[in-house]
Amino acid sequence: MGAREPDDGIRLTDDERLDWLRLIRSENVGPRTFRALVDHCGSAQAALSALPNLARRGGASGSARICSRAEAEREIKAARSLGVSFVALGETGYPSRLAMIDDAPPLIAVRGNLATLARPMVAVVGARNASAAGIKLAERLARDLGEAGLAVVSGLARGIDAAAHRASLKTGTIAVLAGGHDQIYPPENAGLAGAILAEGAALSEMPLGWEPRARDFPRRNRLISGLAVGIVVIEAALRSGSLITTRLALEQGREVFAVPGSPLDPRAEGSNGLLKQGATLVTEAEDVLAVLRPILGQALEQRFEEPGIAPPPPTMAEPGLDERSRIVELLGPTPVGIDDLVRLSGNPPAVVRTVLLELELAGRLQRHAGGLVSRA
Amino acid sequence: MGAREPDDGIRLTDDERLDWLRLIRSENVGPRTFRALVDHCGSAQAALSALPNLARRGGASGSARICSRAEAEREIKAARSLGVSFVALGETGYPSRLAMIDDAPPLIAVRGNLATLARPMVAVVGARNASAAGIKLAERLARDLGEAGLAVVSGLARGIDAAAHRASLKTGTIAVLAGGHDQIYPPENAGLAGAILAEGAALSEMPLGWEPRARDFPRRNRLISGLAVGIVVIEAALRSGSLITTRLALEQGREVFAVPGSPLDPRAEGSNGLLKQGATLVTEAEDVLAVLRPILGQALEQRFEEPGIAPPPPTMAEPGLDERSRIVELLGPTPVGIDDLVRLSGNPPAVVRTVLLELELAGRLQRHAGGLVSRA
C-alpha cells in the first residue's frame, strides 16, 4: 500500500472490505490506529488476528472487543438495502482531499449521487439558532458557490447548515452525518436528507444504527472540513461547533472564510473573531471563489495519491518488557511527539510504534493531530 | 524656516501672523501654494508683495484678489472676541501629526482647551444616517478610546460623528469644522459644539463667517485624518464621505480601522469593503489600541520637527517666456510629477517651481497629493 501512480486507486475485494470494516468497528480502533495496525501487520486481516495479543501486551484488562465477521456482514447487508455503500481509503471514489487528512476514516459509508464526492467542495457552516439574515446569507452563498461548480458540504444541522444544503440541492450538496445513515439528526431534517441524495450525497464514518452523541459532532466536523477546500463560517458564536470545525480546518490546511456581522450581535462574535485572526472576509460568493480558484486550478492538476500508509516493516519489532515500561513511563497527559519518545527511550522507532499500538488497543493511549500521543 | 531643533517651535510676531493670514486668505492661495510662495519669496510678507507680479506672469486675466491688512485685522479681532486663536504651522501648539501632511494648513483657527491638540488623537467617523447599533458602537468606542488617553477627532456631523463627540466630551474631543467657527454645521449640533470646548477643542482652516459648501467637506476631511494616528470607520456606505476620509488617511499613512457589519446592511458596505482591502477589524477599543500603542510609543519619542519648508533659494529663478510656455504645454488634465516636468522641459527645478507657482496664483494650476500637478 505504498504511494501509487495516479488513477491507480486500489479496489478491495469483498473479503478485504469485510476485514477493513471489522477492524475499524473493533474496540479501541480509530482511523489512526487502523492505519498503524495495517502498517504493522501488513493487512487488515493480519491485524484482526494480531489484535488480541497486541492489546494484551498493551495491558488491556479484559479482551478488547473485536467486530465479528457476522456483525460486519450484517452491517454491509443492511447498508446495501438502504443504498449505502462503503468506500475505502485509497479506492477510486474516496474523496481526494479527505484522504489527505491525518485521521481520514479507512471506510466511509456513502449514499446518493456518488459522483458529487469527486467534485471540489466548499463547506458552509454556522449557527443552529441562526438569524433570518444569517439564513438568507447562507442561502445566497451556497447557491452562488454551487452555481460556480462547487459542491457544498455541511452538517445537516438546523439553521445555517440546513439553509446551505437547501440552497444547493440542485447543484449538489453533501451532508456529513454524525451518526449512522439510518439515524438522521435532527429528525426534522430527514426530509432534507432525502432530497440531498438526488443530486448530492450523504456520508458517515459511523455504523448503521449509531445514534449520534454530543462527542460525535466534533469528530464528524473534521470530515466536513476535511472534504472541503475551504470553509465558510456564518454566524458563529464564541465556543460554537463551527469554531471547532474551523480549528480542524486550520489544522488540515484548509482556507477559512467568515461572514462579518455587527459587534453588537452575539451570533457574529465567533465569525468576527475569525476575521481578526486572519480569516478571509466574505460578503459574497466571489470573495470565496477569488481565493479558491487558484487552489482548485492547481488541484485539478493534482492526481489522487494515497496518503502515506507505508509498506509493512521488514521485521516485526517485538518490544521487551523493559522497553515497554520505559515508554509507558515517558507518557503523560501532555501530548508528546513519537520522535521524542524514540529519542528519550533509546528504542528503535519500530519498537516505539509497536508499544504505542499495543497501548492504544488496550485503550491506554490517545493520539493527537500532528503525530502526538498522550496517556489516555 | 529650515528644520529646527526639537521644542524650537517658531513663534510668529503679531505682524507675521497678520501676513500669514493675509497670504492664506488671498485668492488662489491654498496650503501648498502658501508653502511654495514662502519658499520662493522667503517670507509671507515678501510673498504678498510678489503676488501680483507672479500672478500676472502666470497669465491671470485680472488681478488676483489679495486679502487686505484691514480685512485680516478684522478677522483676528472677531476671532479673539469668540475665543478663537490662530496657530501657525511650525508654532508650538500646532498639532504635530497635522503638521506632517502634504497640505497642512499654514494657520488653523482653534478654540477651546488647546492642550487637547497636543494629545495623540484617533478619528471616529461614519454615516450621518447611522443605525441605532452604529450609534451605540460609536459611543462605546469613543468612550473607551477616550478613557485610554486618546483625544477623539470627528466632523460634528449627524449620526456617528455626533455620537463619537458626545461620548468623549469628558475625556476630550476635537471637532473639525468645514466652515468658520461662527458657522456651525449642522446647526442642530451647535449645542454639542459648545460642550466640546470645555475639555476639547474645535478647529477650522476657514475664515470666520464662512458657510460650508459641499466641496468644503472633503477638504475638511483631510484635517480629520491628518490630525489622527488612525481612523475608525463605523457604518460607511459605498461612496460615502467616510470613505473619502479613509482614502485621505491612507495617503497620509494613517492606520485605518473599520467596524464590520452584516453583508445585508447597506450601511456596512463601505466598512466591509475597507476590511477586504486590509483595514483592521474592530469590535472593541482594544482592537484599535493594540495597533496604536506601538505607534504612539514611538511617537512619544518623536519631537516636533517643522515640516520641510526649505529656506529661500539663493537666487530667484526668473523663467523666460519660452520656458514658461514649454511648461504650460506639458501640463494637461492628468496629474504629473514635478520631476517629470523638470526632465521633459529641460529647465532647472527652480524655474519649473516658479512657473508652477505663477500658474497656480493665476488659478491655472491644480496641485494633488504626492506632489503631482495638473492644469486647472
- CB-closest option in A259, A275, A284 to B281: A275
The pLDDT, as a whole number, for residue A349 is: 81
Answer with the residue of higher pLDDT: A234 or A366: A234
Average pLDDT, stretch B306-322? 54
Please list the residues that pair with A280 across neighbouring strands. A257
Place A84 in a pLDDT band, splitting at 50, 70 and 90: very high
Q: So what's the ipTM on this one?
A: 0.76
pLDDT at A1 exceeding the cut of 60:
no
Name which of A3-12, A136-145, B80-89 the model is least confident about. Answer: A3-12
In this complex, the residue of A136, A260, A282 whose CB is nearest that of residue B261 is A260
> Would you call B283 and A260 a contact, using CB atoms and an 8 Å cutoff?
no
**Position B332 confidence tier, pLDDT thresholds 50, 70, 90:** confident
Distance of CA B121 to CAs A167, A196, A255, B9, B139, Å? 47, 55, 37, 20, 16
Q: Lowest-pLDDT range, B121-135, B214-228, B315-329?
A: B315-329
Does position B307 have pLDDT exceeding 80, yes or no?
Answer: no
Q: Cβ A287–B281 below 8 Å, yes or no? A: no
Query: How high is the mean pLDDT of chain B?
Result: 88
Please give the pLDDT value at position A303: 33
Cβ–Cβ under 8 Å, residues B199 and B169? yes
pLDDT per position as a tens digit, A122-144 = 999 999 999 999 999 999 999 99
Give residue-wise pLDDT tens across range B26-74: 998 999 999 999 998 999 999 999 988 888 888 877 777 999 999 999 9
How many beta-carbon pairs below 8 A join chains A and B? 59
The DSSP result for B137-205, as a single string, is: HHHHHHHHHHHTTPEEEE---TTHHHHHHHHTTTT-EEEEPSS-TTS-SSGGGHHHHHHHHHHSEEEES
Q: How far apart are CA A288 and CA A278, in angstroms?
A: 14
pLDDT of residue A307: 42
CA distance A202 to A169: 12
Q: What is the pLDDT of residues B174-212, one digit of tens each?
A: 999 999 999 999 999 999 999 999 999 999 999 999 999
Has residue A161 got a pLDDT over 50? yes
Q: Taking CB atoms and an 8 Å limit, are B263 and A284 in contact across chains? A: yes
Tell me the residues of A at the B interface, defined by beta carbons under 8 Å apart.
133, 136-137, 259-265, 268-269, 272, 275-276, 281-284, 287
Cα–Cα distance list, A254 to A108, A123, A245, B227 (Å): 21, 10, 11, 42
Indicate the SS3 state at residue A165.
helix
pLDDT score of B176? 98
pLDDT at A287: 97
Å from A297 to nearest chain B CA? Answer: 23
Place of cell 457544498: A152
* Minimum-distance CB partner of B263 among A259, A264, A265: A259
Mutation target to probe the A interface, by most A beta carbons within 10 A, among B140, B144, B262 is B262
- A272–B281 CB contact, under 8 Å: yes
Distance from CA of A245 to the nearest CA of B (A): 22
For residues B168 and B151, give the distance between their C-alpha atoms in angstroms, rounded to a whole number. 8
Residue in A closest to B132 by C-alpha: A264
Q: CA-CA-CA-CA torsion for A320, A326, A329, A334, nearest 10 degrees?
A: -100
Distance CA B57, CA B307 (A): 29
Q: Do B276 and A287 touch (CB under 8 A)?
A: yes
Dig out the grid coordinates for B9 from the structure: 517651535
Terminal-to-terminal C-alpha distance of chain A: 29
pLDDT at A333 over 80: no
Q: Which chain A residue's Cα is nearest to B141? A: A263
Inter-residue long-range contacts of A211-215, CB under 8 Å, 24+ positions, other chains counted: A211/A179, A211/A180, A211/A183, A211/A185, A212/A177, A212/A178, A212/A179, A212/A183, A212/A185
- Rounded distance, CA B16 to CA A125, Å? 67
Looking from the CA of A127 toward its CB, the CA atoms found within 13 Å total 25
How far apart are the CA of B232 and the nearest CA of chain A, in angstroms?
A: 14
Closest approach of A135 to chain B, Cα-based (Å) = 11
Q: Check whether A314 has a pLDDT greater than 50.
A: no
Q: Is residue B229 predicted with pLDDT exceeding 80?
A: yes
Q: Which segments of chain A are extended strands (E)?
A: 85-88, 107-112, 121-126, 151-154, 173-176, 201-204, 230-234, 255-258, 280-281, 336-337, 365-368, 372-375
Measured between beta carbons, the chain A residues lying within 8 angstroms of B138 are none
Query: Would you say B113 and B201 are in contact if contact means Cβ atoms under 8 Å apart?
Result: yes
**Mean pLDDT confidence for B261-290:** 95
Q: Would the CB atoms of A133 and B264 count as touching at under 8 Å?
A: yes
Q: For residue B7, what pLDDT band results from cuts at 50, 70 and 90?
A: low
The C-alpha R_g of chain A, in whole angstroms, comes to 21
Query: What's the pLDDT score for residue A316?
Result: 52
Q: In angstroms, what separates the C-alpha of A259 from chain B's closest C-alpha?
A: 8
Give chain A's mean pLDDT.
88
* Cβ partners under 8 Å of residue B176, min gap 6: B153, B154, B155, B156, B202, B203, B204, B220, B223, B224, B227
| Cis peptide preceding A186, ω within 30 of 0 | yes
Residues of chain B found within 8 Å of residue A269, distances taken between Cβ atoms: 283
Residue A240 reports pLDDT greater than 90? no
| Closest CA of chain B from A268, distance in Å | 9
Check CB contact under 8 Å for B137 and A276.
no
For an interface test with A, which of B135, B275, B283 has the most A Cβ atoms less than 10 Å from its Cβ?
Answer: B283
User: Which run of H or of E encompasses B112?
Assistant: strand B107-112
Please tell me the predicted confidence (pLDDT) of residue A212.
96
Confidence of residue A302 (pLDDT cuts 50, 70, 90): very low
Cα–Cα distance measured from residue A209 to residue A71, given in angstroms and rounded to the nearest whole number: 12
Contact indicator for A166, A139 with CB cutoff of 8 Å: yes
**Phi, psi dihedral angles at A41 (to 5 degrees):** -100, -20
| Rg of chain B, C-alpha, whole Å | 21
Evaluate whether A57 touches A40 at the Cβ level (below 8 Å). Answer: no
Q: What percent of chain B has pLDDT over 90?
A: 68
* 8 A C-beta contact, residue B254 and residue B227: no
CB contact (8 A) between residue A272 and residue B263: no
Residue A96 confidence (pLDDT): 95
Residue B260 has its nearest CB partner, among A133, A137, A261, at A261
What is the per-residue pLDDT for A320? 77
State mean pLDDT over B97-118: 96
pLDDT tens digits for range A15-65? 999 999 999 999 989 999 999 999 989 999 999 999 888 888 888 777 779
Residue A273 pLDDT greater than 80, yes or no: yes
Distance between CA atoms of residues B236 and B242, nearest Å: 6
Substitution target in B131, B136, B271, B281 with the highest count of A β-carbons within 10 Å is B281
Distance from C-alpha of B250 to C-alpha of B228, rounded to nearest angstrom = 12
CB atoms B272 and A283 under 8 Å: yes
Residues in chain A closer than 8 A to B260 (CB atoms): 260-263, 268, 272, 275, 281
Residue A133 and residue B282: Cβ atoms within 8 Å?
A: no
Contacts of A260 in chain B (CB under 8 A): 260-263, 268, 272, 275, 281
Which residue on chain A is closest to B234 by alpha carbon?
A: A262
